[in-house]
Structure 1
Amino acid sequence: MEGREEMQGAVGLRCTWDIPPPAGTQAKWVRLNVGGTVFLTTRQTLCREQKSFLCRLCQGEELQSDRDETGAYLIDRDPTYFGPILNFLRHGKLVLDKDMAEEGILEEAEFYNIGPLIRIIKDRMEEKDYTVTQVPPKHVYRVLQCQEEELTQMVSTMSDGWRFEQLVNIGSSYNYGNEDQTEFLCVVSKELYNSPNGLSSEPSHKAK
Protein backbone atom coordinates (compact mmCIF):
# COMPACT_ATOMS: atom_id res chain seq x y z
CA MET A 1 0.00 0.00 0.00
CA GLU A 2 1.35 3.38 -0.98
CA GLY A 3 1.28 6.41 1.30
CA ARG A 4 1.94 10.10 0.78
CA GLU A 5 4.79 11.53 2.84
CA GLU A 6 5.02 15.12 3.99
CA MET A 7 7.31 17.07 6.31
CA GLN A 8 5.94 18.05 9.71
CA GLY A 9 8.77 20.27 10.96
CA ALA A 10 10.43 19.23 14.20
CA VAL A 11 7.73 16.76 15.21
CA GLY A 12 8.61 14.19 12.56
CA LEU A 13 7.28 12.90 9.26
CA ARG A 14 3.70 12.06 8.44
CA CYS A 15 2.22 9.54 6.06
CA THR A 16 -1.43 9.91 5.08
CA TRP A 17 -3.00 6.59 4.17
CA ASP A 18 -4.69 6.51 0.76
CA ILE A 19 -6.47 3.17 1.14
CA PRO A 20 -8.88 2.47 4.03
CA PRO A 21 -8.43 -0.66 6.14
CA PRO A 22 -10.18 -3.82 4.94
CA ALA A 23 -13.86 -4.16 5.72
CA GLY A 24 -14.69 -6.03 8.89
CA THR A 25 -11.65 -4.81 10.84
CA GLN A 26 -13.39 -1.94 12.64
CA ALA A 27 -13.34 -1.79 16.46
CA LYS A 28 -11.91 -5.27 17.00
CA TRP A 29 -9.29 -5.15 19.70
CA VAL A 30 -6.01 -7.05 19.51
CA ARG A 31 -3.48 -7.71 22.27
CA LEU A 32 0.19 -8.01 21.34
CA ASN A 33 2.88 -9.21 23.73
CA VAL A 34 6.08 -7.76 22.26
CA GLY A 35 9.17 -8.81 24.17
CA GLY A 36 7.20 -9.04 27.43
CA THR A 37 5.34 -5.72 27.04
CA VAL A 38 1.63 -5.87 26.20
CA PHE A 39 0.20 -3.46 23.63
CA LEU A 40 -3.53 -3.04 23.05
CA THR A 41 -4.72 -1.79 19.68
CA THR A 42 -7.31 -2.48 17.00
CA ARG A 43 -7.34 -4.56 13.85
CA GLN A 44 -8.08 -1.35 11.98
CA THR A 45 -4.76 0.12 13.12
CA LEU A 46 -2.74 -3.02 12.41
CA CYS A 47 -4.21 -3.30 8.92
CA ARG A 48 -3.25 0.21 7.84
CA GLU A 49 -0.43 -1.44 5.92
CA GLN A 50 -2.09 -4.48 4.41
CA LYS A 51 1.13 -6.25 3.40
CA SER A 52 2.64 -6.00 6.86
CA PHE A 53 3.34 -8.84 9.26
CA LEU A 54 0.93 -7.31 11.78
CA CYS A 55 -1.98 -7.17 9.35
CA ARG A 56 -1.44 -10.76 8.29
CA LEU A 57 -1.18 -11.78 11.93
CA CYS A 58 -4.52 -10.31 13.01
CA GLN A 59 -6.25 -11.62 9.89
CA GLY A 60 -5.52 -15.15 11.05
CA GLU A 61 -2.86 -16.12 8.54
CA GLU A 62 -0.52 -18.92 9.56
CA LEU A 63 2.52 -17.03 10.87
CA GLN A 64 3.42 -19.45 13.66
CA SER A 65 2.85 -16.93 16.45
CA ASP A 66 2.02 -18.37 19.87
CA ARG A 67 -0.18 -16.66 22.44
CA ASP A 68 0.35 -15.98 26.13
CA GLU A 69 -2.07 -16.87 28.94
CA THR A 70 -4.18 -13.75 28.19
CA GLY A 71 -4.51 -14.59 24.51
CA ALA A 72 -2.06 -11.91 23.35
CA TYR A 73 0.06 -12.69 20.30
CA LEU A 74 3.67 -13.35 21.32
CA ILE A 75 6.23 -11.44 19.25
CA ASP A 76 9.90 -11.78 20.14
CA ARG A 77 11.02 -8.25 19.28
CA ASP A 78 12.18 -5.12 21.13
CA PRO A 79 9.16 -3.38 22.73
CA THR A 80 11.04 -0.06 22.93
CA TYR A 81 11.02 0.32 19.16
CA PHE A 82 7.57 -1.17 18.70
CA GLY A 83 5.87 1.84 20.32
CA PRO A 84 6.85 4.32 17.55
CA ILE A 85 5.89 1.76 14.91
CA LEU A 86 2.44 1.25 16.42
CA ASN A 87 1.93 5.02 16.72
CA PHE A 88 2.94 5.41 13.08
CA LEU A 89 0.19 2.98 12.12
CA ARG A 90 -2.27 4.86 14.33
CA HIS A 91 -1.77 8.38 12.98
CA GLY A 92 0.76 8.13 10.16
CA LYS A 93 3.45 10.17 11.89
CA LEU A 94 6.92 9.07 12.96
CA VAL A 95 8.01 10.57 16.28
CA LEU A 96 11.20 9.38 17.97
CA ASP A 97 12.59 10.02 21.43
CA LYS A 98 16.03 11.62 21.38
CA ASP A 99 17.64 8.41 22.67
CA MET A 100 16.19 6.24 19.90
CA ALA A 101 18.38 5.23 16.98
CA GLU A 102 16.82 5.46 13.54
CA GLU A 103 18.71 2.30 12.60
CA GLY A 104 16.76 0.43 15.29
CA ILE A 105 13.42 1.70 14.00
CA LEU A 106 14.42 0.79 10.45
CA GLU A 107 15.31 -2.76 11.48
CA GLU A 108 11.92 -3.22 13.16
CA ALA A 109 10.03 -1.61 10.27
CA GLU A 110 11.70 -4.03 7.89
CA PHE A 111 10.82 -6.97 10.13
CA TYR A 112 7.15 -5.94 10.23
CA ASN A 113 7.29 -5.06 6.50
CA ILE A 114 5.82 -1.56 6.83
CA GLY A 115 6.78 -0.06 3.47
CA PRO A 116 5.88 3.64 3.99
CA LEU A 117 7.76 3.76 7.29
CA ILE A 118 10.83 2.10 5.75
CA ARG A 119 10.95 4.76 3.02
CA ILE A 120 10.55 7.62 5.50
CA ILE A 121 13.39 6.42 7.73
CA LYS A 122 15.73 5.77 4.82
CA ASP A 123 15.04 9.26 3.46
CA ARG A 124 15.82 10.78 6.85
CA MET A 125 19.06 8.82 7.17
CA GLU A 126 20.17 9.76 3.66
CA GLU A 127 19.44 13.42 4.39
CA LYS A 128 21.56 13.28 7.55
CA ASP A 129 24.42 11.58 5.70
CA TYR A 130 24.29 14.29 3.03
CA THR A 131 24.38 17.02 5.67
CA VAL A 132 27.41 15.45 7.34
CA THR A 133 29.33 15.29 4.06
CA GLN A 134 28.80 19.02 3.54
CA VAL A 135 30.58 19.95 6.78
CA PRO A 136 34.16 21.06 6.03
CA PRO A 137 36.87 18.94 7.64
CA LYS A 138 38.85 20.07 10.65
CA HIS A 139 42.63 20.21 10.48
CA VAL A 140 44.63 18.79 13.36
CA TYR A 141 48.34 19.50 13.69
CA ARG A 142 51.01 17.70 15.68
CA VAL A 143 54.61 18.58 16.38
CA LEU A 144 57.01 15.66 16.70
CA GLN A 145 60.56 15.92 17.97
CA CYS A 146 63.12 13.60 16.41
CA GLN A 147 66.80 13.16 15.69
CA GLU A 148 68.34 13.61 12.28
CA GLU A 149 68.83 9.90 11.70
CA GLU A 150 65.14 9.24 12.48
CA LEU A 151 63.71 11.71 9.95
CA THR A 152 63.64 9.46 6.90
CA GLN A 153 62.05 6.55 8.72
CA MET A 154 59.44 8.72 10.45
CA VAL A 155 58.30 10.49 7.27
CA SER A 156 58.19 7.28 5.23
CA THR A 157 56.11 5.41 7.81
CA MET A 158 53.45 8.08 8.36
CA SER A 159 50.00 6.71 7.50
CA ASP A 160 46.31 6.90 8.35
CA GLY A 161 45.87 10.30 6.72
CA TRP A 162 48.78 12.12 8.38
CA ARG A 163 50.73 14.44 6.08
CA PHE A 164 54.13 16.08 6.45
CA GLU A 165 53.88 19.90 6.67
CA GLN A 166 57.11 21.45 7.91
CA LEU A 167 60.55 20.61 9.29
CA VAL A 168 62.23 22.93 11.79
CA ASN A 169 65.84 22.63 12.92
CA ILE A 170 65.75 23.53 16.61
CA GLY A 171 69.51 24.15 16.56
CA SER A 172 70.47 21.87 19.41
CA SER A 173 73.04 19.14 18.96
CA TYR A 174 74.79 16.70 21.21
CA ASN A 175 77.25 13.88 20.99
CA TYR A 176 75.86 10.39 20.81
CA GLY A 177 78.73 7.95 20.78
CA ASN A 178 81.20 9.29 18.23
CA GLU A 179 78.60 11.20 16.15
CA ASP A 180 76.97 14.60 16.45
CA GLN A 181 73.17 14.40 16.47
CA THR A 182 70.91 17.31 15.45
CA GLU A 183 67.31 17.51 16.62
CA PHE A 184 64.34 18.63 14.53
CA LEU A 185 60.69 19.48 15.03
CA CYS A 186 58.48 17.82 12.43
CA VAL A 187 54.99 19.31 11.88
CA VAL A 188 52.33 16.92 10.55
CA SER A 189 48.61 17.44 9.88
CA LYS A 190 45.45 15.42 9.35
CA GLU A 191 41.90 16.18 8.19
CA LEU A 192 39.08 15.01 10.48
CA TYR A 193 35.52 14.66 9.22
CA ASN A 194 32.39 14.67 11.33
CA SER A 195 30.84 11.25 11.85
CA PRO A 196 27.03 10.70 11.53
CA ASN A 197 26.59 11.12 15.30
CA GLY A 198 28.14 14.58 15.15
CA LEU A 199 31.47 13.68 16.76
CA SER A 200 34.85 14.00 15.07
CA SER A 201 36.80 10.80 14.61
CA GLU A 202 39.87 10.45 16.78
CA PRO A 203 43.28 10.63 15.10
CA SER A 204 45.18 7.39 14.86
CA HIS A 205 47.86 6.50 17.39
CA LYS A 206 50.28 5.73 14.56
CA ALA A 207 51.47 9.32 14.30
CA LYS A 208 51.89 9.94 18.02
Structure 2
Amino acid sequence: MAETHGGICGQESRRAAPVQTFNHRSSKWVRLNVGGTYFLTTRQTLCRDPKSFLFRLCQTEPDLDSDKDESGAYLIDRDPVYFGSVLNYLRHGKLVLNKNLTEEGALEEAEFYNITSLIKLIKEKIIERDAKSTHTPVKHVYRVLQCQEEELTQMVSTMSDGWKFEQLVSIGSSYNYGNEDQAEFLCVVSKELHNQSYMSSSQPSEKAKILQERGSRI
Protein backbone atom coordinates (compact mmCIF):
# COMPACT_ATOMS: atom_id res chain seq x y z
CA MET A 1 0.00 0.00 0.00
CA ALA A 2 1.48 3.33 -1.03
CA GLU A 3 0.37 6.90 -0.38
CA THR A 4 1.70 10.04 -1.99
CA HIS A 5 3.51 12.67 0.01
CA GLY A 6 1.09 15.08 1.54
CA GLY A 7 -1.33 12.89 3.47
CA ILE A 8 -3.16 9.62 3.73
CA CYS A 9 -6.40 8.95 1.93
CA GLY A 10 -9.58 9.05 4.00
CA GLN A 11 -10.25 5.32 3.73
CA GLU A 12 -6.84 4.41 5.11
CA SER A 13 -7.06 6.96 7.91
CA ARG A 14 -10.31 5.37 9.09
CA ARG A 15 -8.88 1.84 9.07
CA ALA A 16 -5.42 2.53 10.43
CA ALA A 17 -4.59 2.79 14.09
CA PRO A 18 -3.20 6.05 15.43
CA VAL A 19 0.20 7.04 14.10
CA GLN A 20 1.89 6.17 17.40
CA THR A 21 1.25 2.45 16.85
CA PHE A 22 3.73 2.46 13.96
CA ASN A 23 6.46 3.36 16.44
CA HIS A 24 6.16 0.00 18.24
CA ARG A 25 8.28 -2.74 16.71
CA SER A 26 5.80 -5.35 17.90
CA SER A 27 3.14 -3.91 15.55
CA LYS A 28 2.11 -6.07 12.61
CA TRP A 29 2.16 -3.10 10.25
CA VAL A 30 5.22 -1.09 9.25
CA ARG A 31 5.18 2.34 7.68
CA LEU A 32 7.98 3.43 5.36
CA ASN A 33 8.80 6.82 3.90
CA VAL A 34 10.78 6.06 0.75
CA GLY A 35 11.91 9.19 -1.06
CA GLY A 36 8.84 11.12 0.13
CA THR A 37 6.30 8.42 -0.73
CA TYR A 38 4.67 6.42 2.06
CA PHE A 39 4.29 2.64 1.95
CA LEU A 40 2.31 0.56 4.44
CA THR A 41 3.05 -3.15 4.61
CA THR A 42 3.33 -5.98 7.09
CA ARG A 43 6.40 -6.91 9.08
CA GLN A 44 6.08 -10.43 7.64
CA THR A 45 6.47 -9.10 4.09
CA LEU A 46 9.59 -7.11 4.94
CA CYS A 47 11.14 -10.14 6.65
CA ARG A 48 10.97 -12.47 3.63
CA ASP A 49 14.75 -12.34 3.18
CA PRO A 50 16.62 -12.70 6.50
CA LYS A 51 19.75 -11.16 4.96
CA SER A 52 18.05 -8.05 3.63
CA PHE A 53 18.19 -4.47 4.85
CA LEU A 54 14.43 -4.51 5.42
CA PHE A 55 14.63 -7.61 7.63
CA ARG A 56 17.25 -5.95 9.82
CA LEU A 57 15.13 -2.81 9.98
CA CYS A 58 12.18 -4.71 11.48
CA GLN A 59 14.01 -6.51 14.26
CA THR A 60 13.15 -5.83 17.91
CA GLU A 61 16.75 -4.87 18.53
CA PRO A 62 17.97 -3.73 15.12
CA ASP A 63 21.68 -3.72 14.31
CA LEU A 64 21.32 -0.61 12.16
CA ASP A 65 20.02 2.86 12.85
CA SER A 66 17.23 4.34 10.78
CA ASP A 67 15.69 7.75 11.25
CA LYS A 68 11.94 8.27 11.38
CA ASP A 69 9.87 11.19 10.25
CA GLU A 70 7.32 13.02 12.38
CA SER A 71 4.68 10.35 11.66
CA GLY A 72 6.91 7.51 12.84
CA ALA A 73 7.63 6.13 9.36
CA TYR A 74 11.10 4.80 8.66
CA LEU A 75 13.02 7.15 6.37
CA ILE A 76 14.69 5.51 3.37
CA ASP A 77 16.42 7.74 0.84
CA ARG A 78 15.76 5.67 -2.29
CA ASP A 79 13.64 5.80 -5.44
CA PRO A 80 9.99 5.15 -4.46
CA VAL A 81 9.00 4.09 -7.98
CA TYR A 82 11.37 1.14 -7.97
CA PHE A 83 10.61 0.38 -4.33
CA GLY A 84 7.02 -0.41 -5.30
CA SER A 85 8.30 -3.23 -7.53
CA VAL A 86 10.67 -4.43 -4.80
CA LEU A 87 7.87 -4.48 -2.23
CA ASN A 88 5.53 -6.36 -4.57
CA TYR A 89 8.25 -8.95 -5.16
CA LEU A 90 8.45 -9.54 -1.41
CA ARG A 91 4.67 -9.91 -1.34
CA HIS A 92 4.15 -12.43 -4.15
CA GLY A 93 7.59 -13.47 -5.42
CA LYS A 94 7.21 -12.02 -8.92
CA LEU A 95 9.07 -9.09 -10.46
CA VAL A 96 6.72 -6.73 -12.30
CA LEU A 97 8.23 -3.59 -13.83
CA ASN A 98 6.31 -0.77 -15.45
CA LYS A 99 7.32 -0.04 -19.03
CA ASN A 100 9.31 3.06 -18.04
CA LEU A 101 11.47 1.09 -15.58
CA THR A 102 14.61 -0.87 -16.44
CA GLU A 103 16.08 -4.09 -15.13
CA GLU A 104 19.31 -2.25 -14.35
CA GLY A 105 17.45 0.24 -12.16
CA ALA A 106 15.64 -2.55 -10.34
CA LEU A 107 18.94 -4.38 -9.86
CA GLU A 108 20.45 -1.29 -8.24
CA GLU A 109 17.60 -1.17 -5.71
CA ALA A 110 17.67 -4.93 -5.09
CA GLU A 111 21.38 -4.71 -4.31
CA PHE A 112 20.83 -1.79 -1.95
CA TYR A 113 18.18 -3.71 -0.01
CA ASN A 114 20.32 -6.87 -0.33
CA ILE A 115 17.47 -9.12 -1.43
CA THR A 116 19.50 -12.03 -2.77
CA SER A 117 16.75 -13.92 -4.60
CA LEU A 118 15.63 -10.75 -6.37
CA ILE A 119 19.20 -9.90 -7.37
CA LYS A 120 19.56 -13.34 -8.95
CA LEU A 121 16.22 -13.07 -10.75
CA ILE A 122 16.99 -9.65 -12.25
CA LYS A 123 20.44 -10.71 -13.44
CA GLU A 124 18.88 -13.70 -15.19
CA LYS A 125 16.33 -11.42 -16.86
CA ILE A 126 19.09 -9.07 -18.05
CA ILE A 127 21.04 -11.97 -19.56
CA GLU A 128 17.90 -13.28 -21.27
CA ARG A 129 17.01 -9.81 -22.58
CA ASP A 130 20.50 -9.17 -23.95
CA ALA A 131 20.58 -12.58 -25.62
CA LYS A 132 17.34 -11.79 -27.46
CA SER A 133 18.57 -8.36 -28.58
CA THR A 134 21.81 -9.75 -30.03
CA HIS A 135 20.05 -12.55 -31.92
CA THR A 136 19.60 -11.66 -35.59
CA PRO A 137 17.50 -13.49 -38.18
CA VAL A 138 19.38 -15.76 -40.56
CA LYS A 139 19.97 -14.14 -43.95
CA HIS A 140 20.92 -15.82 -47.19
CA VAL A 141 23.55 -14.08 -49.30
CA TYR A 142 23.89 -15.00 -52.96
CA ARG A 143 26.90 -14.78 -55.23
CA VAL A 144 27.17 -15.36 -58.96
CA LEU A 145 30.38 -16.89 -60.31
CA GLN A 146 31.21 -17.11 -63.99
CA CYS A 147 33.24 -20.09 -65.20
CA GLN A 148 33.94 -22.24 -68.20
CA GLU A 149 32.89 -25.84 -68.53
CA GLU A 150 36.30 -27.27 -67.63
CA GLU A 151 36.41 -25.18 -64.44
CA LEU A 152 32.95 -26.09 -63.26
CA THR A 153 33.73 -29.38 -61.52
CA GLN A 154 36.70 -27.98 -59.65
CA MET A 155 34.82 -24.88 -58.54
CA VAL A 156 31.87 -26.84 -57.14
CA SER A 157 34.10 -29.37 -55.37
CA THR A 158 36.26 -26.71 -53.71
CA MET A 159 33.46 -24.57 -52.30
CA SER A 160 33.94 -24.06 -48.56
CA ASP A 161 33.33 -21.65 -45.69
CA GLY A 162 29.60 -22.26 -45.67
CA TRP A 163 28.96 -21.64 -49.38
CA LYS A 164 26.73 -24.11 -51.16
CA PHE A 165 25.66 -24.62 -54.75
CA GLU A 166 22.20 -23.33 -55.70
CA GLN A 167 21.84 -23.23 -59.48
CA LEU A 168 23.77 -23.42 -62.74
CA VAL A 169 22.83 -21.12 -65.64
CA SER A 170 24.28 -21.56 -69.12
CA ILE A 171 25.17 -18.30 -70.84
CA GLY A 172 27.11 -19.68 -73.82
CA SER A 173 25.82 -20.44 -77.30
CA SER A 174 24.31 -23.84 -77.95
CA TYR A 175 26.24 -23.99 -81.23
CA ASN A 176 29.86 -25.16 -81.36
CA TYR A 177 31.86 -23.53 -84.14
CA GLY A 178 35.29 -24.87 -83.25
CA ASN A 179 37.24 -27.18 -81.03
CA GLU A 180 38.41 -24.30 -78.81
CA ASP A 181 34.94 -23.03 -78.05
CA GLN A 182 33.85 -23.85 -74.49
CA ALA A 183 30.48 -23.38 -72.88
CA GLU A 184 30.27 -20.74 -70.15
CA PHE A 185 28.13 -20.88 -67.08
CA LEU A 186 26.95 -18.73 -64.23
CA CYS A 187 27.06 -20.61 -60.96
CA VAL A 188 24.74 -19.30 -58.23
CA VAL A 189 25.93 -20.06 -54.68
CA SER A 190 24.51 -19.04 -51.33
CA LYS A 191 25.60 -18.71 -47.71
CA GLU A 192 23.80 -18.18 -44.42
CA LEU A 193 24.81 -15.00 -42.59
CA HIS A 194 24.12 -14.15 -38.96
CA ASN A 195 26.00 -10.84 -38.93
CA GLN A 196 23.98 -7.80 -39.96
CA SER A 197 27.16 -5.75 -40.43
CA TYR A 198 28.03 -7.78 -43.51
CA MET A 199 25.71 -5.79 -45.72
CA SER A 200 27.87 -5.61 -48.83
CA SER A 201 27.45 -9.31 -49.52
CA SER A 202 23.70 -8.97 -49.81
CA GLN A 203 23.93 -6.62 -52.81
CA PRO A 204 24.19 -9.33 -55.49
CA SER A 205 21.10 -11.09 -54.21
CA GLU A 206 18.70 -9.30 -56.55
CA LYS A 207 20.90 -10.09 -59.52
CA ALA A 208 21.09 -13.68 -58.44
CA LYS A 209 17.33 -13.91 -58.25
CA ILE A 210 17.04 -12.60 -61.82
CA LEU A 211 19.59 -15.13 -63.02
CA GLN A 212 17.73 -17.89 -61.21
CA GLU A 213 14.53 -16.92 -63.00
CA ARG A 214 16.40 -16.85 -66.27
CA GLY A 215 17.90 -20.26 -65.57
CA SER A 216 14.51 -21.77 -64.86
CA ARG A 217 13.40 -20.85 -68.38
CA ILE A 218 16.46 -22.40 -70.05
TM-score range normalised by the length of the shorter chain: 0.5 to 0.7
Relative to structure 1, is the Cα distance of residues 137 and 69 closer, same or farther in structure 2, using a 3 angstrom cutoff? farther
Residues 26-175 of structure 1 correspond to what in structure 2 (within 5 A)? 28-59=28-59, 60-136=61-137
Between the aligned partners of 2:138 and 2:129, the Cα distance in structure 1 is 16
Over aligned residue pairs, what C-alpha RMSD do you find?
A: 2.2
The counterpart of 1:191, out of the listed 191, 197, 206, is: 197
Between the aligned partners of 2:105 and 2:26, the Cα distance in structure 1 is 30
Q: Deviations over 1:160-183 (max 9, x none)?
A: xxxxxxxxxxxxxxxxxxxxxxxx
Q: How far off is 1:26 after superposition? A: 9.0
Q: Secondary structure of the equivalent of 1:40?
A: strand
- Kept in 2: contact 1:30–1:42 (CA 8 A): yes
Between the aligned partners of 1:38 and 1:106, the Cα distance in structure 2 is 22
Between the aligned partners of 2:83 and 2:43, the Cα distance in structure 1 is 16
Between the aligned partners of 1:103 and 1:137, the Cα distance in structure 2 is 29
1:90 counterpart letter in structure 2: R
4+ runs deviating over 3 angstroms? none
2:45 counterpart letter in structure 1: T
**More strand per residue: 1 or 2?**
1
Q: Secondary structure of the equivalent of 1:98?
A: coil
Q: Deviations over 1:21-43 (max 9, x none)?
A: xxxx9971100000000100111
Q: How far off is 1:137 after superposition? A: 9.4
**More helix per residue: 1 or 2?**
2
1:101 counterpart letter in structure 2: T
Between the aligned partners of 1:105 and 1:62, the Cα distance in structure 2 is 25
Q: How far off is 1:191 after superposition? A: 2.0
Q: Secondary structure of the equivalent of 1:94?
A: coil
Relative to structure 1, is the Cα distance of residues 91 and 27 closer, same or farther in structure 2, using a 3 angstrom cutoff? farther
Q: Secondary structure of the equivalent of 2:51?
A: coil
Between the aligned partners of 1:97 and 1:53, the Cα distance in structure 2 is 24
Structure 2: 5+ residue stretches without partners: 1-24, 140-195, 199-218
1:191 counterpart letter in structure 2: S
Q: How many residues align?
A: 117
1:64 counterpart letter in structure 2: D
Stretch deviating more after TM superposition (124-133 or 36-45) = 124-133
* Bigger Cα Rg: 2
Q: How far off is 1:53 after superposition? A: 0.1
Structure 1: 5+ residue stretches without partners: 1-24, 139-189, 193-208
Between the aligned partners of 1:77 and 1:29, the Cα distance in structure 2 is 20
Q: Secondary structure of the equivalent of 2:83?
A: helix
Between the aligned partners of 2:104 and 2:44, the Cα distance in structure 1 is 27
Between the aligned partners of 2:78 and 2:131, the Cα distance in structure 1 is 31
- Sequence identity of aligned pairs in percent? 66
Between the aligned partners of 2:121 and 2:97, the Cα distance in structure 1 is 13
2:100 counterpart letter in structure 1: D
- Kept in 2: contact 1:28–1:42 (CA 8 A): yes
Q: How far off is 1:105 after superposition? A: 0.5
